[in-house]
A and B are shown apart, each in its own frame.
Chain A
Amino acid sequence: MATKKFMYLNRRSSFGTVYAIESLEVVLIAAAFEQDVSLAFMDDGVYQIVEGQETDGIGMKNFSKTFHALGDYDINKLYVSKESLEERGLSESDLMPLVYEDEDDDWEEKPSIRVVTNDELKAIMSEQDVCLSF
């Protein structure tokens, strides 16, 4: 099967609507298809991967932990908009330390999150074959 570049565009935060969790469910399934997968987090989507989400008080499932599993599924390109972080008073240190083990580099642990400018994101988006928006 041919390999295509799939981008998952996440622009909403985790719990106000169902889009974030159901987007993550698609990404986990997508891993089985051995395509080139990237995730982009823009606008309020950056809150999906903020460290320290606690959901006991709202009675909803805390799916943020699931992002830690993505590395094991070879999903290790999580692009985060620098401008979106800055507008929200956030920086990379506020995000979960998501990592993967690089099989091409003696299984060295490397960060999956890449904070990119809108211009860099523009170039990454223009290479995609399929864009799924949530």
Chain B
Amino acid sequence: MLHTVNKSSFERNSLQSCLNTIDDSSVILFIEDGVINAANNANSSMIADLATEGRIFALQGDVEARGISSKLADNIKLVDYAGFVDLVVEHGTAVSWV
């Protein structure tokens, strides 16, 4: 499954709820304000292991728009909108943690 998270974990608990219920084959894509979760910050430990496994993606346009390109945590994979489409194709059911 592909899980999209569009909120910062400093603002809402959607990332935590997503992490509580994703299975071992799922990946997470951060979009909109969700890319704040991809920056190196006090909450980065939430996603560090998944990122090491190559399961954390962030939408490049949203990262750049928020000025955090140079502040990303380790092992975050950036995708453009076409890459977002590919993730939906590859990973089956899409779950939005709105």
Q: Do the two chains touch directly in the complex (Cβ atoms below 8 Å apart)?
A: yes
Chain A residues near B (Cβ < 8 Å): 9, 11, 42-43, 83, 118, 121-123, 125-126, 128-131, 133-134
Q: B90 within 8 Å of A by Cβ?
A: no
Cβ–Cβ contact B17 & A122, under 8 A: no
Q: What DSSP secondary structure best describes chain A's contact surface?
A: mixed
Cβ–Cβ contact A118 & B20, under 8 A: yes
Q: B94 within 8 Å of A by Cβ?
A: yes
Among B13, B14, B95, point to the contact of A131 (Cβ < 8 A): B95
| In the complex, chain B residues whose CB is within 8 Å of the CB of A42 | 17, 21
Q: How far is the CA of A125 from the CA of B26 in the complex (A)?
A: 11
Q: What DSSP secondary structure best describes chain B's contact surface?
A: loop
Among A9, A121, A126, point to the contact of B1 (Cβ < 8 A): A126
Beyond A43-B13, A125-B1, A126-B1, whether A131 also contacts B21 by CB under 8 A is no
Total contacts A-B at CB 8 Å:
37
| In the complex, chain A residues whose CB is within 8 Å of the CB of B21 | 42, 118, 121-122, 125
> B interface, how many residues as a size bin?
10 to 19
| In the complex, chain A residues whose CB is within 8 Å of the CB of B46 | none
| In the complex, chain B residues whose CB is within 8 Å of the CB of A83 | 20
| In the complex, chain B residues whose CB is within 8 Å of the CB of A123 | 23
Among B13, B95, B96, B98, point to the contact of A125 (Cβ < 8 A): B95
* Residues 42-84 of B contacting A (Cβ, < 8 Å): none
Q: How far is the CA of A11 from the CA of B21 in the complex (A)?
A: 13
Among B13, B20, B98, point to the contact of A133 (Cβ < 8 A): B98
